[in-house]
């Protein structure tokens, strides 16, 4: 059994460079997630597998992060379609336009938990 461990780390004393790296990672995560949403929305048979994951090639994200973005995109597309069906409306392709929820999902998959502490 694989045990995942985490530690809570404060960003209170992090440098501007480190904060910029986290923002850059969040922006890349958002961009790749949107690309997977675009693919999954057009092809409803998309699954969480290597072939689908390899559709996005031009990214600096690791394989683990790409798997997580694909999982998130599949969940977003499936839930959007289910909601539209329940409301008896036509489903429209989701667009990610904010990063607050995305950051929550992103931090969930980081090897450490990042906590912002205001001074």
pLDDT (tens digit, 9 = 90+) per residue, 34-64? 999 999 999 888 898 998 999 898 899 999 8
Locate the domains of the chain by residue range: 8-115
CA terminus-to-terminus distance, the chain: 40
φ, ψ of residue 91 to 5 degrees: the values are -75, 135
Low-confidence residues of the chain: pLDDT under 50: 100-102, 109, 111-119
- Residues 117 and 32: their CA atoms lie apart, in Å, by 28
The pTM assigned to this predicted structure is 0.72
CA geometry: angle 40, 110, 6, nearest 5 deg: 140
């Amino acid at each position: 059994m694989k045990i995942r461990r985490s530690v809570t780390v404060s960003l209170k004393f992090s440098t501007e460079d480190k904060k910029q790296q986290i923002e850059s990672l969040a922006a890349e995560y958002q961009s790749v997630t949107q690309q997977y949403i675009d693919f999954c929305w057009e092809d409803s048979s998309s699954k969480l597998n290597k072939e689908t994951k390899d559709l996005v090639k031009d990214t600096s994200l690791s394989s683990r992060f790409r798997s997580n973005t694909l999982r998130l995109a599949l969940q977003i597309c499936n839930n959007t379609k289910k909601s539209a069906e329940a409301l008896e409306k036509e489903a429209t392709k989701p667009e990610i336009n904010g990063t607050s929820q995305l950051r929550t999902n992103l931090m969930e998959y980081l090897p450490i938990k990042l906590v912002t502490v205001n001074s």
